Structure formats: C-alpha cells, structure tokens
Structure 1
Amino acid sequence: MNVTVFGATGAIGQLVVADLLKAGHAVTAYVRNPAKVPAWGDQVRVVVGEITDGAAIDTAVAGSRAVVSALGPSMDRKAQGLPLVEGTRLILEAMQRHGVRRYVGNGTPSVLDVRDRRTLQARLVGWMGRTFLPRAYDELVQMSALVTGSGLDWTIVRFIAPKDGPAKGVRRIGFFGTDRLGFAVTRADIAAFTAAQVDDSTYVNAAPAVSN
C-alpha cells in the first residue's frame, strides 16, 4: 500500500516511516526541512514543503491509499498562530480530491471520543493543556475537529506521556472510563500502533488511547 506520512522527520514520524517500511508499504514522506531527512535512500519518496503549501501537499497525497499524520503542535510558548489547523485542512482536501479514504493521526485526551467517560485522568490532561499550553491545545482540538468531521475513514491514536526508549508493547488500549489506561507509553509503541492502523479497520472513526 502507498502511504503518505506528514511530520515524517519528527520523533514519532521517523519511527512510523520505519514501521511502514518493515510492513512492506511504499512510503511518501512530507518534510519541511530536507536537512532533517534520515538516510532513507530510495526506499522513501520525499516531498519538501511547508505545512501550508497546498500544491506540495497535493503532490504528496496523489497516488496514496492512506495518510498518516504524525504532526503535533509546537510546545514553544512563543509560537504563534495555528499553522497545523490550516495544514490539516489542506491534507484532508487533497485526500478528498484524490479519493484517499484512510487517515490516521495522533492526539491526546484533549481530543474526546464519544465512548469516553469524564474520568479524572482525562479531565486532568485537558485542564493542563488549556491552562499551560492554550495555543497548542487549541491547535490540537481544531485539527482533530476537522478530521472527525471530514467524512473520511479516520483514526486518532491518543496518548498522554510519550517517552523515548525501546518498544515495550501497547498493553492497554481503549477509552477513558471504559477501559483501564495508564499514562506512559514509548514513542516506539505509539509509532508501531499508528502504522498498524493503515490497514486495520478495528478503530475506524474512533480515537483509542494507548499506554504501556
């Protein structure tokens, strides 16, 4: 399957690309800074552009059967605007033009799922985002609203406390208040679970949370 990955040079995005390649998929990586491209060689088709460059995004999406977005808001308190909201809109529009149905992205419990219940765990994460990183919180919520309202076959993989280190395996998957979920999860496990969703229909139109 041809898969386009946005945020492909990020901490999770690079791992997603590696997992997709291991699974035998063909990958197009959309990158802003070509200097950050790993030694993918000719295994990966690279498209360079800003996240608000509609023409470049269209080129990256054309010919794909699925899109993975490992884009995440900047945690820099000096950051301004909501560029990823515009970028997500352009990605979704390109998918609709080219008939690409499958979208897989990342998020936090700030993104709600209809299966969630109002647990202290989820409320705490949302409160911290709104209070300490309001710009990033707004960007993430608005990005996710575009995705869930797109009419596409979407999945948003949610997590709370990503960390570096070797994969341990995602041992807890589900929804707040319904399933028992932890806080920590390795980026390697987030990437593996995210990559696996491109051809798995279990969580279509759902936002499962994952933890170790």
Structure 2
Amino acid sequence: MLDRGPNPHDIHPNPELKQIRYIKNIVTNPRIIAGEYSYYDDTNGAPFEERVTHHYDFIGDRLIIGKFCAIASGVEFIMNGANHRMGSVTTYPFNIMGHGWEKATPQLSDLPYKGDTVIGNDVWIGQNVTILPGVTIGDGAIIAANATVTKDIPPYHIAGGNPARLLKQRFDDELINLLLELKWWDWSPEKISAHLDILCSSDLDKIRTLL
C-alpha cells in the first residue's frame, strides 16, 4: 500500500533500482545486525558481508546498524580481526603463516580490541568510506565520501577526511535535541508516511508539532 511505504521485508525496495538492497533481509552472519529500511548500494550484487572484513567468529565483535541508514558503494567496515600485536618487537603475524610459526599465536588479550562497531539510525555513509573497529557513529550523522573513520562521530554531525574529523553540525543544538527525542525511525510506517513533509523539512516549528 502506498501509505505504508515500501515493504521492509523485501530485498529490493524499488524493483527498478536493483543495486539498492535492504541489509537486514540479506545478511546471514548473526554478528551483523541491521535495522529495517537500512540499505546499501552495490551495482555488482556482492553480498553485504564482503563489505565487513576481518570479521572472525572467535573474536566475537559485532557490526550493529540502526534503521533508515544509507550506505553507498565501496564502503568497508574493518573489524577487530585486522588488529596485530603492537606491544611486541614486531607486529608481523607469524602465526598465520604456519610451518611451525603458529607457535607464535598471540592470546586474544595481546591484541588490541575496540569492541563492537555501531552505526546509529538515519546515518548516511558516502562512497568509499572506511570505518575502523569499535567506532560509534551517532544518529543522523553524515560521513563524506572517501573518509576514514577512526573515532566516534556525534549525532547529527558531518565528518570527512583521512582521518575523519568533524566538519560541522547539521543543525543547531535545539533541533538536534528535538530530533533525538523524536526518534522518528521508531514510528510506524503509517505515521512516517503521514508526516513525510515535516521529516523532509528543517522547519523547527513544524518539527515541534510532532513531539
């Protein structure tokens, strides 16, 4: 039905845009958790898991993505399995080469561990962005194309560069606080459809009417 928007359980929300896929309905790895309506763009049709590298079961870290996120082509999430020992003389991973070198296998406690990678709701991640382990990107944030995100990004901020730095707030503090209170991404499809004009506006007075 038109007043409910696209079916959140479909793979392609729009059959005419086959490169757009809802993440939640495609991933099979239980340690990748995505909210409804969050999508990624991939003209080659590659599985979303290929975007998530060094993601090993024995480490146990998770990639958590909120609702209504837009993830462009070429984005890579690097997980904790990419980390090497940093406190020893060499960072070289002898153990994965085998042939007797596996005796140098490190304990997990010897490896840097940054925890889960968490992407909030309504986050837009531009093309070819790299996100390092353990980063949290707040609700409503925008990550500019080709950025490398090495640390947390606050809600409703724009970040870019390598390493990514904060460029500006999207809105003033009052509007940001209102939006974080509003949490429109948790509304029913019917309520979202009924208020699209306000959700696509930056008019503070209109947004106040939704609270």
TM-score of the pair, normalised by structure 1: 0.23
Report which of the two has the higher share of helix.
Answer: 1
Work out which of the two has the higher radius of gyration on C-alpha atoms and give 1 or 2: 2
TM-score, length-scaled by structure 2: 0.23
Larger RCO, structure (CA 8 Å, separation 6 or more): 1
